[in-house]
Structure 1
Amino acid sequence: MADHLKPAGQAKFKDQHVTKFDELLIEADGQHRRYGLVGAPLSKPSISHSGAAFAPGAIRQAMSSYSTYSNGLGIDFNHEQVTDFGDINMHPTDIPGSQDRITESIKTILNRQEVDELFLLGGDHSVTYPSLKAYQQQVGTIGVIQFDAHHDLRNLQDGGPTNGTPFRRAIEDQVLRGDHLVQIGIHDFTNAAAYDQFAKDHGVTVFTMDDVKDQGVEALVDQAIQHLIDQVNLIYLSVDMDVLDQAYAPGCPAIGPGGMTSHDLLTGVERASAFEAVKAVDIVEIDPTIDFRNMTSRVAAHVIFSYWKGKIKP
């Protein structure tokens, strides 16, 4: 008599010709691979209610919904392996301490030299500051291309190191020079005049959604790269998913109308990753507890796929 039993949760349909993206994730084993991934499940510093701490797991789960074959390129990524370093253990009450743990963990990963390029899965946008701090200490001068609806240049006096302050902190702490920050997709009615002025005063390059519509995201990414390429040792992409229009990102706590389409964002990431200097990405501000059918995490998974496409696109 045939035995059709499998361990709980593993009795799934399997097509012998299809590899799913989550099958490429390999626990850290000391082997060198091009790509690595680590989760930073921190959302306590969010200035609005957020369950973004659950996002690293949700994004990994979303990866299981897609095959590794790109019809557009005619290339199967099933030969890739990605080192999954797991999630950074956050302190239950100590926010600065948790942010320090992110810096320490990323420095440890970079020091081990087991991967060439790293994806950080947030968490809210507060995780970007400690990540940038780790990179700056390891590689020196860094540049950032930030896809975001918000400047994230809020003052720290009103709330401390929140998800609205990562780039203010980086600039004021001399982790990142203002003129090494390029923001793409800034929305109307999501910022304050004081923070727009802070950006101007510190040489931040700001492209609004009007610029995205008028010039196209690829042209803006090209301008960002050309601005940064000769000035920095590494370019870091920070992808805040609320840069998307609310129709594409129901799982973002700060959604609004008039944002990017998912195609805009994926095209921009693919364009940026084609440049060798781009070697790090964070993906932040997804709250799976308010998402609809995991839509926002699925776009985040495609941010990773688009990054890979850009790296090998002919």
Structure 2
Amino acid sequence: MTSFARPPRWESPASDPNDETFGDVVEPTTLEAAGAYDAVLVGERYDGAVIGRRGAKEGPDAIREALAGVKSHHYDAGPVSSIGDLGNLRFPFSDVPSVQAEAEEVTSAVHETAALPVFLGGDNSLTVPNVAPLLERGSVGAISFDAHLDCREPVDGPSSGTPYRQLFDRGLDALAVVGARHFETSTAYADYLERKRGEVVTADEVRRDPASAVSRALEAVSGVDFLYVSLDVDVLDAAFAPGVSAPTPGGLTTADLYAALFEVAGADRLSGFEVVECAPPLDESGRTSDAAARAVAHFLAGYGGEWR
């Protein structure tokens, strides 16, 4: 049975007492007490489903370390607060189907709390158990910030490239992919998502008109009961995020990503957020972990900010 390891103790590296950081804000908690927080972090240390280079297993701890030093203040939203940390999931199995099934039992319990789940991956295969419990409760739409569509058919079993095919097979109602790159997706998968009436907003379109790109994504998932947001860090240009399984040029800038996440986080029906495919062993000077940590910060600011 999958369970939580003891949550880490958060500490701020700041020497100035006025520098409140996430290290001061995030508190270790338990599943029973999670409802007292606006959002709770859940670490998923698993990368057994990665098609390319592995390393995402180390993502949760590296993201936490980077986030602890990020100051809590957002100019538009005010200071971030009320964040708990449930710790990392323990996985008694290593094969992908068993990991997905075991993780779903725990993520279902997390979704039942009053807190917004923020999953720190780990590879993209964990999107399935992170979203699946919502499918039992009503209609679900997902916004995926990703260079790829992740709609491969799981012919040889599930992988980091199959989560949205698996979720559509289980009843996912809508999907919008933001930041998809030209020449990174096979025509067969582009055609599949078109048949599913999914929305694809390319990285080029985000650069040309970021506000319109976010509006299109939100419109594509309007009308659902629950909205889930996924960030695969490879949506960023390789210059900003070299530490991913498949870094490529032509992606989003951190500035465009953060603005989009902040906007999406304020949407109604928001029911979960994840950051996946951050692979510290493949990183350069912690650049990718830092980018991922600040993505979490911007999302949390948009979700709980004073402006809402």
Q: Distance in 2 between matches of 1:265 and 1:74?
A: 17
1:125 counterpart residue number: 124
2:31 equivalent to 1:37: no
Q: Distance in 2 between matches of 1:256 and 1:195?
A: 19
1:219 counterpart residue number: 212
1:289 counterpart residue number: 281
Give 1:135-214 correspondences, 5 Å limit. Answer: 135-137=134-136, 139-157=137-155, 159-174=156-171, 176-177=172-173, 180-214=174-208
Partner residue of 2:255 out of 247, 263, 266:
263
Q: Distance in 2 between matches of 1:270 and 1:12?
A: 25
The answer to whether the Cα contact below 8 Å between 1:221 and 1:272 also exists between their aligned partners in 2 is: yes
Q: Distance in 2 between matches of 1:127 and 1:12?
A: 31
Letter in 2 for 1:272: V
Q: Distance in 2 between matches of 1:11 and 1:126?
A: 32
Q: Distance in 2 between matches of 1:283 and 1:243?
A: 11
The answer to whether the Cα contact below 8 Å between 1:270 and 1:306 also exists between their aligned partners in 2 is: yes
2:19 counterpart SS class = coil
Normalization by structure 2: what TM-score? Answer: 0.90
Give 1:39-54 correspondences, 5 Å limit. Answer: 39-54=43-58
2:226 counterpart residue number: 234
Once the two structures are TM-superposed, the CA of residue 272 in structure 1 deviates from its matched residue by 0.6
Q: Distance in 2 between matches of 1:248 and 1:291?
A: 10
Letter in 2 for 1:273: A
Aligned residues: 294
2:228 counterpart SS class = strand
Gapped runs of 5+ residues in structure 2? Answer: 1-10
Q: 1:191 to 1:227 in 2, by over 3 A?
A: closer
Letter in 2 for 1:222: S
Range 205-214 or range 119-128, more displaced: 205-214
Q: 1:12 to 1:255 in 2, by over 3 A?
A: closer
The answer to whether the Cα contact below 8 Å between 2:78 and 2:301 also exists between their aligned partners in 1 is: no
Give 1:15-94 correspondences, 5 Å limit. Answer: 15-29=16-30, 30=33, 32-70=36-74, 72-73=75-76, 75-77=78-80, 80-94=81-95
1:6 counterpart residue number: none
The answer to whether the Cα contact below 8 Å between 1:28 and 1:85 also exists between their aligned partners in 2 is: yes
Note the aligned Cα RMSD (angstroms): 1.9
Q: Distance in 2 between matches of 1:290 and 1:254?
A: 10
Once the two structures are TM-superposed, the CA of residue 160 in structure 1 deviates from its matched residue by 1.4
Q: Distance in 2 between matches of 1:287 and 1:263?
A: 21
Question: CA deviation digits over 1:46-81, x for unaligned, max 9?
Answer: 1112110110000000012211123x338333xx13
Normalization by structure 1: what TM-score? Answer: 0.88
1:153 counterpart SS class = coil
Structure number with greater CO (CA < 8 Å, separation at least 6) is 2
Letter in 1 for 2:76: L
The answer to whether the Cα contact below 8 Å between 2:12 and 2:69 also exists between their aligned partners in 1 is: no
Once the two structures are TM-superposed, the CA of residue 135 in structure 1 deviates from its matched residue by 2.0
Q: 1:161 to 1:48 in 2, by over 3 A?
A: same
Gapped runs of 5+ residues in structure 1? Answer: 1-9
